[in-house]
Amino acid sequence: MKRNVAPTRSNLLKLTDELRFATLGHELLDQKRSILVVELLTLVDQAVDYQSRVDKALAKAGDSLQHTVMEMGRLRVANLFGAVRINSSIELSQRKVMGVHLPRVETTFSAGGPYFSPEGTTLAVEDTLEEFQEALKLMGRLAELKVSIMRLAQEVKKTIRKVNALEKIVIPDLKETLAYTQSRIEEAERENFMLLKQVKNRMERATAQRGKV
């Protein structure tokens, strides 16, 4: 509590405004915290799903590559994939959730092809390329989710600290200071009233005495 605040009406109004502002700020920050937590939990669920999808996609791509090697031989596959020229593009953008910048990752591939003669090759080669491209797309989405989760978690922690500071320190302190200032003003007004009453009584007695004379 701020005991050095002068017990005046102007300070009382100022403290009342500060308390109203702090209470409004607490409500808004509490709403922000709730929204961020909901968004965070949603992204965590999505990240768990995408982690599973990435693991499965990488395993599937690995199995496809192994199958291609068994069909065509390691040296032949190495030569074929060495001739592949696929351009990848990662487009980064962002969105905002309660002022927090969250990334968007879009992975695309462009290719001219064909990169090799179909003679002596199997469809497994094309399947393997497609499987690895799909895995890379999923990994980009997973990276987007993980970065978003980290940023949201940091913002949630900051917001919780602010909410707790307002709820447990600032607002109680303002309420206590306001009550103390109010009581001091009321006490001063009572003292002034009693003083004025005493002055009035003395003046009335003095007037009565002068009337008797």
In a domain, 58, yes or no: yes
Per residue in 178-207, is it b (16+ CB within 10 Å) or e — as a string? bebbeebbeeeeeeeeeeeeeeeeeeeeee
Closest CA to 149 of 42, 52, 49: 42
Q: What is the pLDDT of residues 186-213, one digit of tens each?
A: 787 787 778 887 777 777 676 767 666 5
Q: Is residue 28 part of a domain?
A: yes
Total structural domains in the chain? 1
Does position 52 have pLDDT exceeding 90, yes or no? yes
Q: Is residue 5 part of a domain?
A: no
Q: pLDDT band for 82, please (50, 70, 90 cuts).
A: confident
Query: CA gyration radius for the chain?
Result: 37
For 138-186, how does the pLDDT look when each residue is reduced to its tens digit (9 = 90+)? 999 999 999 999 999 999 999 999 999 999 999 999 998 888 888 888 7
CB atoms within 10 A of CB 166: 19
Tokens standing for residue 206 = 């003095």
For the cut 60, the answer to whether the pLDDT of residue 117 exceeds it is no
What's the mean pLDDT in 31-49? 96
pLDDT score at 185: 82
Query: Is residue 4 one of the residues assigned to a domain?
Result: no
Residue 205: inside a domain: no
Range of the domain at 115: 10-200
Give this prediction's pTM.
0.75
Question: How much is the pLDDT for 85?
Answer: 75
Which residues make Cβ contacts (< 8 Å) with residue 65, sequence separation at least 6? 77, 128, 131, 132
Res. 113 pLDDT band, cuts 50 70 90: low
- Measure CA 191 to chain center: 52
Residue-level pLDDT at 46: 96
Share of the chain above pLDDT 70, in %: 88
Residue 80 is assigned to a structural domain of this protein? yes
210 occurs within a structural domain = no
Q: Per-residue confidence at 115, pLDDT binned at 50, 70, 90?
A: low
The answer to whether position 93 is within a domain reads: yes
pLDDT digits (tens, 9 = 90+) for 85-98: 777 788 899 999 99
Q: CATH number of the domain at 63, please.
A: 1.10.287.3240
Please, what is the average pLDDT of the chain?
Answer: 86
